[in-house]
Amino acid sequence: MAEQKKIKNLKEFSKSVDRFEGSNLLCPGCAHSIIVREVLNATNDDLVLSAATGCLEVSTAVYPYTSWDASWIHIGFENATTAVAGAEAMYKALKRKGRLLQPDRPPKFVAFAGDGATYDIGFQWLSGTFERGHDVMHVTLDNEVYANTGGQSSSSTPIGSSTTTAPAGRVSYGEKRVKKDMMSIMAAHGAPYVAQVAPNKWKDMIKKIQHGFAVEGPVYINAMSACTTEWRFDVADTIAVSDLATDSLVFPLYEIIDGETWNITYRPKNVIPVRDYLAAQGRFKHLFKPENEYLIDEWQQRIDKEWVRLQRMEENSPR
């Protein structure tokens, strides 16, 4: 059981001892650092961390410096989760053999990976880790693109987004596929806890991270991480864009417990049009041309349908 922090307000939480230092080379306005700091500060337990190759890794461990004040492993693009799963298995083996100095103080094992290293390249390894039931948490820093290697599309990239491998132009409106539903996929693995979070709703995120730390077994956290570089908005607008994402229901906040109980954890008082979210980002500016505006209508219809589905799943969940 994780040592839970009683967090009353943001000021109190901001005074937590950081295990993710402020010195890093992430882009100004990058949401990655906000998310990672919140995850690490959600518990007082020791941590064993891994990071897949990606923006987070290359910007926080430039030899001979590091931003990590915790046990941290850099592993390949695809297998961040199996790295901490191996450490978790080793810990259990050493505990059985009586070779631990503090056997009653187990660390928490957390992997960080981008959407490319989760939805695509790392999916096989992630799936295997969850199938084996390792007591680890996988956090996807979901910026919906391969931001570290040039802005290529991933299977998290939403339809209509302009990327380097699906550029918008005279013959194309950009990415042709809708975003993969990783939440349902990971819940289908029988994971005890799956949750979607966003950095603008920090209390919601902390509650979910602490819930994830408290359960036994593999936990999946999908964290929206707005990317100023590839989403093309001003560096000062990260939280504002994140608000647009959650308030338009493009990125709904909910959790799935034991694969069958669905809880919506944030219901906007005033749901805003999807159009407002798209208009705030340069990657979608071409959708506002007359020949492409039908895609905005399709976006709205799809988001409305998904919100109805989420509410139905919640209503029909066992309690």
Domains and CATH numbers, the chain: 24-315 (3.40.50.970)
84/6: higher pLDDT: 84
Residues near 287 by beta carbon (within 8 Å), at least 6 away in sequence: 160, 173, 278, 293, 295, 296
Instruction: Tell me the angle at which helices 32-41 and 202-214 cross, rounded to the nearest 10 degrees.
Output: 50
Q: What pLDDT, on the 0 to 100 scale, is given for residue 1?
A: 44
As a whole number, mean pLDDT of residues 261-276 equals: 98
CA angle, 100 as apex, 99 and 106 as ends, to 5°?
145
Q: 157, 171, 155, 299: which is closest to 231 by C-alpha? A: 157
> What is the rounded CA–CA span in Å between residue 231 and residue 224?
12
Tell me which residue has tokens 């109805």: 308
Is the pLDDT at 15 greater than 90, yes or no? no
Encode pLDDT of 32-56 as tens digits. Answer: 999 999 999 999 899 999 999 999 9
Encode pLDDT of 170-228 as tens digits. Answer: 999 999 999 999 999 999 999 999 999 999 999 999 999 999 999 999 999 999 999 99
Q: What pLDDT, on the 0 to 100 scale, is given for residue 6?
A: 65
Element (H, E) at 142: strand 137-142
Q: What amino acid is encoded at 241 in this protein? A: V
Q: 295, 286, 292: which is closest to 167 by C-alpha? A: 286
Q: Quote the pTM value.
A: 0.95
CA dihedral sign, ordered 302, 308, 312, 314? positive
> What is the rounded CA–CA span in Å between residue 153 and residue 146?
6
